[in-house]
């Protein structure tokens, strides 16, 4: 059985702020977007809240009209958040809503189509890996994922996945986690953790779904697909704290499954941090899960990372196996087809802005594989590894 984890970075539509070649260009908009929606969800808007809302609206380019921003737009579906008045050559914003109950609406990110070649290259990676069970990160939604499999994989002579599942998570930017499996590996059980909370509120930025898959030999494997909190914007202290909360919860879910007698468990996906980081310690150090890259049958290339130049601190994608599965591993590697640039020719340059990480592992029961591939936005064909 072959298992893969692939950060597809959206298939058809992606938020403009996330699609910039220069991450710093879209970062301020992402930060303002997160801040303003936090304020808009408050029960009562104080005078200071209204002042900050006006400031953030202008920062997002929404000072003059609801859809005036490059990266964001304001939705006012019922009631009004604000009124705009012309003052000389300028525009004055007055916040007329007094709290969340006064109106229905939000600020949302604008999207743009993913480059056609980039989408095709994503399909080519999936075809070349040939995973029986494929976990995906940053997928648009289930319908898009299903159409991608049935139409695009077939168009490049790949085999579409008959079983496609994705549960909408807590991220409203259209970057959820899902699973695709071949005909002989049906998904027989799904459990979502989208509503898991602790004293600080919701735990998962997206979700940590449990997918139970059966094999041709009637064994079953449970996969926990993850996309932990990124370092992309906001306070790094807060980001690290959130990622640690998530790692602790994933570890607790794993231990609970073990207590229930489950042996074949995989925890995989984009963890957004390196193996020696403190936030991931509860999962990497305080469980008996084993990293596929530590197996003697894993074929390394002296680059442990799965992102950019592939350095040790750039390893952010993982396939972790329970002891029973780790004992059955037959092989593994990092898929780096289509990677350009960098000091050693291993990083994506500006001609290749959409990097997609992909892990792949191989056992008798399954297989695993960790890797980096790129989706060029300029229409270039993937290079050799």
Give pLDDT tens digits for 175-202.
899 999 999 999 999 999 999 999 999 9
Q: Which token pair is 37?
A: 């929606």
**What pLDDT score does 356 carry?**
33
Q: Residue 245 pLDDT > 70, yes or no?
A: yes
75, two tokens:
């939705």
For 319-376, write each residue's pLDDT tens digit. Answer: 999 999 999 999 888 887 766 545 554 444 322 223 333 444 555 443 333 333 333 3
Q: How far is CA 157 from the centre of its chain?
A: 27
Rounded Cα–Cα distance for residues 305 and 318 (Å):
10
Q: Which pLDDT belongs to residue 385? A: 26
- Of 256 and 123, the structure prediction assigns the larger pLDDT to 256
Q: What are the helix (H) ranges across the chain?
A: 16-19, 23-40, 47-59, 116-129, 142-147, 154-155, 236-259, 281-284, 323-326
Structure tokens at 64: 């003059």
Q: Which residue has the higher pLDDT, 231 or 163?
A: 163
> pLDDT value at position 186?
97
CB 160 within 8 A of CB 149: yes
356 bridge partner residues:
373
- Tokens 């909408």 belong to 168
Separation in Å, CA 77 to CA 50, 62, 105, 174: 19, 16, 5, 20
371 vs 84 pLDDT, higher one: 84
**Looking at residue 380, what is its pLDDT?**
30
| Region 2-13+113-375: CATH code | 3.60.10.10
Range with lowest mean pLDDT among 51-60, 93-102, 234-243, 358-367: 358-367
3-state class of 36 per DSSP? helix
HEC per residue, 45-68: CCHHHHHHHHHHHHHCCCCCCCCC
Q: For residue 270, what are the contacts with CB-CB under 8 A and spacing of at least 6?
A: 5, 7, 137, 138, 226, 227, 228, 316, 317, 357
Give 3-state DSSP helix, strand, coil % of the chain, rounded to 5. 25, 30, 45
Task: Give the span between the Cα atoms of 23 and 247, in whole angstroms.
Answer: 25
Query: How high is the pLDDT of residue 354?
Result: 30
**Which of the pair, 82 or 18, is modelled with greater confidence?**
82
pLDDT value for 178: 95
Residues 60-69: contacts with CB under 8 Å, at least 24 apart = 60/29, 60/32, 60/33, 60/36, 60/107, 62/107, 63/91, 63/93, 64/91, 69/29, 69/110
| 308 or 112, greater pLDDT | 112
What is residue 342's predicted lDDT score, i.e. its pLDDT?
Answer: 53
pLDDT range class, residue 59, cuts 50, 70, 90 = very high
Helix and strand numbers, DSSP H then E, in the chain: 9, 21
116-128 b/e (C-beta count within 10 Å ≥ 16 → b): ebbbbbbbbbbee
Q: Where are the domains of the chain?
A: 2-13+113-375, 16-111
pLDDT digits (tens, 9 = 90+) for 246-255: 999 999 999 9
3-state secondary structure (DSSP) of residue 106: strand
Mean pLDDT taken over the chain: 85
Query: Rounded to the nearest 5°, which phi and psi values hold at 52?
Result: -70, -35
Taking the model in full, what pTM does it have?
A: 0.79
**324, burial (CB in 10 Å: exposed 0-12, middle 13-18, buried 19+):** middle
Q: Which two tokens stand for residue 60?
A: 């997002």
Among 31-35, 234-238, 351-355, 360-364, name the one with the lowest average pLDDT.
351-355
For the cut 80, the answer to whether the pLDDT of residue 308 exceeds it is no
Backbone angles phi, psi at 351, to 5 degrees: -75, -5
pLDDT at 339: 62
Three-state secondary-structure class, residue 227 = strand
């Amino acid at each position: 059985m072959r298992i893969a984890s692939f950060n597809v970075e959206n298939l058809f539509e992606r938020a403009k702020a996330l699609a910039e070649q220069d991450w710093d260009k879209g970062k301020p908009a992402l930060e303002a977007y997160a801040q303003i929606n936090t304020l808009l969800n408050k029960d009562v808007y104080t005078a200071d809240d209204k002042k900050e809302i006006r400031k953030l609206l202008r920062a997002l380019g929404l000072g003059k009209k609801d859809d005036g921003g490059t990266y964001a737009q304001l939705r006012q579906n019922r009631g009004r958040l604000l009124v705009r008045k012309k003052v000389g050559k300028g525009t004055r914003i007055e916040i007329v809503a007094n709290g969340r109950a006064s109106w229905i609406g939000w600020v949302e990110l604008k999207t743009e189509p993913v480059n056609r070649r980039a989408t095709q290259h994503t399909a080519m990676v999936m075809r070349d890996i040939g995973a029986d069970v494929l976990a995906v990160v940053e997928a648009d939604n289930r319908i898009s994922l299903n159409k991608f499999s049935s139409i695009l994989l077939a168009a490049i002579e790949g085999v579409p996945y008959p079983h496609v599942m994705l549960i909408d998570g807590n991220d409203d930017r259209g970057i959820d986690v899902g699973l695709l499996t071949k005909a002989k590996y049906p998904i027989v059980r799904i459990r979502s953790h989208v509503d898991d909370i602790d004293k600080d509120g919701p735990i998962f930025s997206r979700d940590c779904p449990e997918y139970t898959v059966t094999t041709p030999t009637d064994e079953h494997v449970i996969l926990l697909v993850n996309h932990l909190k990124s370092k992309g914007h906001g306070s790094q202290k807060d980001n690290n704290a959130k990622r640690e909360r998530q790692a602790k919860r994933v570890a607790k879910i794993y231990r609970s499954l073990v207590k229930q007698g489950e042996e074949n468990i995989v925890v995989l996906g984009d963890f957004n941090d390196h193996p020696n980081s403190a936030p991931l310690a509860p999962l990497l150090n305080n469980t008996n899960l084993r990293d596929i890259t530590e197996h003697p049958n894993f074929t390394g290339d002296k680059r442990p990372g799965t992102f950019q130049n592939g350095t040790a601190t750039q390893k952010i994608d993982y396939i972790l196996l329970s002891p029973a599965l780790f004992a059955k591993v037959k092989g593994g590697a990092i898929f780096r087809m289509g990677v350009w640039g960098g000091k050693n020719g291993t990083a994506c340059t500006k001609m290749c802005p959409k990097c997609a990480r992909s892990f792949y592992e191989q056992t008798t029961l399954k297989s695993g594989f960790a890797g980096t591939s790129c989706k060029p936005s300029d229409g270039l064909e993937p290079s050799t590894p």
